[in-house]
Structure 1
């Protein structure tokens, strides 16, 4: 008899708890849409994903000008990439790599396909 009462209490308690959780979730969604948190989160994620390096930023990272030749750019890239590989940061190394990738199409002949870089 006690086991039956205990089982009923457990079943009723879990049902009440499940309804309370669903109600709390609905309220949280309503609050998020009222304050714009959901929209702000989506916009921030989109902004981060669409950040493409500009030519100006790439030139600034590599320390080159618009008059620099591809050989000068490649030399700066090799120097900065190796320096950051030894005792720098992976973040800076990847920025240097992205900067070279950004400038590469500008110096490639129009009829020659670009070679994939690792």
Structure 2
């Protein structure tokens, strides 16, 4: 189970890192979507930091199981919030956020099973 956690955590951390980078650097496509969904611009650095922290926590979770579990829970909550934000804006393209939430849930289950 640990190898499965390591693979899922690494892939999810890569996706989170890329998303955090694009948010920190104000990639027009990301910023336009977030603005369209009503996310205040003052939240962008905090949301990017949350994604970066999730990526780091998942990777550190390879050595510290409790931190990996906490990071996975945080990432699940983050992407559930993203799904809710999409739905409130009447945008029904929720698959990317939902898939990332499910990957984080898989990471959580695998981390718990491998401890």
Higher relative contact order (CA 8 A, sep 6+): 2
Q: Which structure: larger Rg?
A: 1
Q: Which category describes the TM-score, using the shorter chain as reference length? A: 0.3 to 0.5
Instruction: Calculate the TM-score normalised by the size of structure 2.
Output: 0.38
